[in-house]
Structure 1
Amino acid sequence: MATYKRILKNKPNANGTLPIIFRVYKDDLNSEFSTPFRIQKSQWDVNNLLVKSNYQGYKGINDTLNQISDKLAVVINRLESEGNFFTAKDIVDELKKGFIDRKSKKITNFIEILGELKKTKKANSANIVRDTINKLKQFRGDDIPVSTINFEFVKGYDGFLALTHDVGGLGVRMRDLRARYNEAVKLGLVDDLQPFKHYSIKVNKNKRRIAITKEEIDKFFAFNYDEYPRYKLSYLTFVFSYYSAGMNFTDVCKLKKGQIGDELSYKRSKTSKPIKVPLYERTKEILKELLTVPKESNGYVFPYLTDFHQSDSQINNRIKKTRTQYNKDIKFIAGKVGITANLTSYVVRHSFATILYHSGNVPIELIKELLGHDNVAITEAYLKEFSTDAMKQLTEQYL
C-alpha cells in the first residue's frame, strides 16, 4: 500500500529557511516531490503538517499543499485500481504529469499559475513577480508557448530589458524569471530545458557598497538638529540605526514598543531571522525621547507608520515613500557636516559592520551575530563588497 507525508526538511539554506516536500512511500522505498516553498522551522505546524498562521503567506501555501495532497490521493487510487506494479517514483512521476497539461499550456497561463504562488510571498517579492509578468507580456505578448523558453528567448528578453533598465535593474528581472522557471520545474509544470545554462546574469562591478569612516560617523552625530528641526527625526533614525547594529530602515519603521526590553528583539524583515541587539546609552536616550511623544501609531516606536497602514501593501508603500525622504534628509545633514559620501539608508549598516571589523577589537563571529548572518562566510563575503578606496579610508584610522 502506498502512503505519503508532508515533510519540512532539516537542511536550511543561507537564509535559514527549510524546504517543504512530499515524501511518497511504497514497498520500503520512497521518492520525493519538491515544492517551491521554504519557511523557518518555527513557522511549521508539526501536528497538522501545515504552515502556521504567523507566516505572512500561510493561506496560499496551505491551499497549494492541500491541492497536492488531493492530487496524490487520486494518483495512488488510480494506480492501485489498475492492478499493475508501480513504485513510489512512479507515483511522483504521475503526479508531475498530472499537475498540468504541459503540451497545451502557454506561458501566460504558466505565469498565472506562478502568480498564485505570488500570493504566498512577502509584498516586495510579490511586486517583483507581478512586474515580471507585465514585462514578459510587453516582450512577446500574451501567447508565448512554454517550448519557446530557451536560451535564445532568455537572450532576447535580456536585450529587451537592456533598452530600459540599468545593469542592476536588469539583473533583478532576469533573476526573477529564472526563479519562476525553476519553481515551475520543481512543480512538474514544465520540462527543464535549462534555458539559463549558458546565460550569466550581469553584475554591475562598478557599483560597490559604500561605508563611511568612524570620523565621518562622528561628524554626522555632531549635527545640531536644533538649528534644523525639520531634520530631527531623520537624524535620530540614522543614529538609532547605527547603534542598533545597522538596523535596516524597514525594520526601524516596523519596530514596536513591545520589542524593547533589556535589549532590542525583532525579526529581520528581509530574512525573518530573529535578531537581538544590546541597548546602548545613546539608543536609550533616543527611545526615551521618542516614546514620550504622543502619537497615533499602533505601538510603533518611530512615527513613520500609523493605524492607517494595515495591509502589507499600505505598509510597504509607506516605507518606500518615507525612505525616499529619509535619504534626502541624511544627504542634507551630510552636506552640512562635511561628509562627501553619497549617504543612503544602506550606508548605516555597511559602516557599522566595517568600522567594527577594522577596529581589530571585535571578533567577526560577533559581527555575524549582530548582522543576523547565518555563518561567518556570509559576513566575510559581505565585508569584501567594498571599494579599495573605501577600505583604505576605513583602515587608515587604525594604522
Structure 2
Amino acid sequence: MLKQVLKQRNVFSNVLPKMTTADVICYKYKPLKNGELPLKIKVCKDRKTRYINLGVSTKSEYWDFEKNQPKPTCPDRELIEKLISNKISEVKSKIVELKSNNKEFSATTLVEKVSHPTKAITVGELFKQHIHCLEEEKRTGYRLSIQQTYNSLIKFNSHLDIPFSEMDCGWLKRYETWLRKQGKSENTIGIRFRNIRMIFNSAINMGLVKPENYPFKQLKVSKLHQETAKRALTKDEILSVVNYNITGKDFYCKLAVHLFTFSYFMGGINFVDMAYLTGKNIVSNRLIYNRRKTSKLINLPMQERALLVLKEYKDSNKPYLFPILSISHRTEQQKLNRLHKVITKVNKALKCIGEELNIPIKLTTYVARHSYATVLKRAGVATSIICESLGHSSEKVTQIYLDNFENNQIDKAMELLK
C-alpha cells in the first residue's frame, strides 16, 4: 500500500509544474567563529539550491530544527521571526513579479535580484540622464524642451528626488493646475505633459516603475492641445514679401527677406537648418541635407531665386552659406545663443515688413514653411508628394513621404512655386 502511494506521488510530481520555494534554515554545517550558526533563506528552483544570508546568527540550543524556527527561549525571537518573514515575503514577491512579466529566472538570478536589488533611479535622475543623452546627440532644440520641463517641475515640487510611483494621476493634475495659474498656454502645458509621458515610458521600459502605475491611462495628454491658427499666405502675399524692396534697409531686414525667400523656394526649410547649411550641402545643383530635428534626408532641386539669395552671401572664407553662424561659435551653447539672437531680430524685421505690406497674419520665417506646403496643395499636388505641414499631427510623416519619391516627381511639383 505504501509503495503504491509513493508511486502515485512520483507520478503527480512529474505532472505538476516545478515550484520555486523559499524557507529559512539554521545553517549548521559552517558555524561562525563565535560558535553560533548563521540563519539563511534557502531558495530552490529546478533542483538547484541557493542561499541568502540574513546577517544574523543564533546558538544551536536556541533553534528548533524540527519546526525550523527559533525556540521560545531564543533571545530576540520576535525580531528574528519578523526578519525571516520579511525576507521570505520579499523573495516570494520577486517570484510573482518575474512570473507576471513572463521573465525566465533561475535560483541564482533570483537570489541575485533579492540580494543585490537595482538602485532605484528617481524622476529627477532620469530627466538628467535623458538631457545628457540629447546633449551628446546634439539635439539642441529637443534638449531645451526637456530642460524647460525639468525646470518647471523643480519650481512646482521644489525637488524631483521622488520615485516614479509618486508621480501619479493626482500629482500630475496638481501640476497641471499650477501651470494654469502660471498663465501657461494650452500648447505649452501639452508639451510639458508629453515630455513627462516620454520620461515615464522610459522608466517603465527600464523597470523603474510598474506598468500598472502608468498615470496617462486616466490623464489624457491628447486633450492638452490648442488648435493653432494657420500661418500660410496666398501666393500673391508670398511674392510681395519675396519681392520686397530691401534697398537701403539694414542687415537684419535684408537677411529676413532672403531667409524667407530661400525657405519658400527650397521646400520650406526651417531657420535652424538654413543656419547650418554649408557648401557641402549643394551637390549637382541640388540641396541635400539632413533635418536636425528628425534626421530625415532632404534632397531638392536648387531654384533660381534661391541661388540668387545665396549669391548675396557667397564668401569662400566662411564655412556657412548664411551669415548666421561662424567659426567663432564653437560650442553648442554658443551656437544656441547665436541662433536665438538672430531669429529674434529676423522675425522682428519680418513682422514690420508684414505690417507694411498689410499681411493679415504675423510674419515669421516659419510662415514661409507653411506657405510652401499650402501653395503646392492648393495647386493640386497630391499630399503624398508634398502636403501642408500644418495639417499633420507629426512632421516626421511629411518627411517620410518626401523621402520615398523620386527626385523628378519632387522637381516637377516644385515648378509650381515659380
Q: TM-score range by the shorter chain?
A: 0.5 to 0.7
- Partner of 2:304 in structure 1? 281
Contact conserved, 1:100 with 1:189, CA < 8 A, in 2? no
Q: 1:191 to 1:96 in 2, by over 3 A?
A: farther
Higher mean Cα deviation, 367-376 or 177-186? 367-376
- Deviating 4+ runs (over 6 angstroms): 92-99, 369-373, 376-380
- 2:189 and 2:224 in contact (8 A); partners too: no
Tell me if structure 1 keeps the 8 A contact 2:270–2:365: yes
Q: Look up the match of 2:155.
A: 138
Q: Secondary structure at the match of 1:366?
A: coil
Q: Deviations over 1:275-323 (max 9, x none)?
A: 01111111122222221x47x63x1000100011122222222112211
Percent sequence identity over aligned pairs: 30
SS of 2:215's equivalent in the other structure is: coil
**Residue type at the aligned position of 1:224:** N
Classify 1:309/1:89 alpha carbon distance in 2 versus 1 (closer, same or farther; 3 Å). same
| Other-structure match for 2:278 | 256
Partner of 2:36: none
The 2-side partners of 1:151 and 1:178 are apart by 12
| Residue aligning to 1:90 | 104
**Structure 1: 5+ residue runs without aligned partners?**
1-78, 381-399
CA contact (8 A) 2:351 2:363 kept: yes
Pairs aligned (count) = 295
Distance of aligned partners of 1:377 and 1:131 in 2 relative to their CA distance in 1, 3 Å threshold: closer
Q: Which residue of 1 aligns with 2:363?
A: 343
C-alpha distance in 1 between matches for 2:231 and 2:152: 31
- CA-based RMSD of the aligned residues comes to 3.5
**Deviations for 1:169-205, whole angstroms, at most 9, x for unmatched residues?**
1111111111111111111122220111111234443
Q: Post-superposition shift, 1:378?
A: 8.1
**Preserved CA contact (<8 Å) 2:146 2:195:** yes
CA distance in 1, matches of 2:365, 2:395: 19
How far apart, CA to CA, are the structure 2 residues paired with 1:283 and 1:115?
36
Matched, 1:356 2:376: yes
Cα distance in structure 1, aligned partners of 2:133 and 2:347: 33
CA distances 1:54-99 after superposition (whole Å, capped 9, x unpaired): xxxxxxxxxxxxxxxxxxxxxxxxx99x679x99932699799977
Gap change, CA 1:109 and 1:351, over 3 Å in 2: closer
Is residue 131–residue 146 contact of structure 2 (8 Å, CA) maintained in 1?
A: yes
Which residue in 1 is equivalent to 2:267?
A: 245
Aligned residue identity for 2:320? Y
CA distance in 1, matches of 2:295, 2:232: 25
- Is 1:215 paired with 2:233? no
Q: 1:376 to 1:282 in 2, by over 3 A?
A: closer
- Please state how far the C-alpha of 1:227 moved relative to its aligned partner: 3.9
Checking the alignment, whether the CA contact within 8 Å between 1:114 and 1:184 is kept in structure 2 is: no
Larger RCO: 1 or 2 (CA < 8 Å, sep 6+):
1
Give the letter aligned to residue 345 of structure 1. T
Instruction: Please list every run of 5 or more consecutive structure 2 residues that lacks an aligned counterpart in the other structure.
Output: 1-44, 51-97, 403-418
Counterparts of residues 105-144 of structure 1 (less than 5 Å): 106-121=122-137, 122-142=139-159, 143-144=161-162
SS in 2 for 1:156: helix
Q: Say whether the 8 Å CA contact 1:154–1:196 is kept in structure 2.
A: no
**8 A contact 1:184–1:190 mirrored in 2:** yes
Deviates more, 1:156-165 or 1:122-131: 122-131
Normalising by structure 1, report the TM-score: 0.65
Moved more, 193-202 or 118-127: 118-127
Cα 1:368/1:267, change in 2 over 3 Å: farther
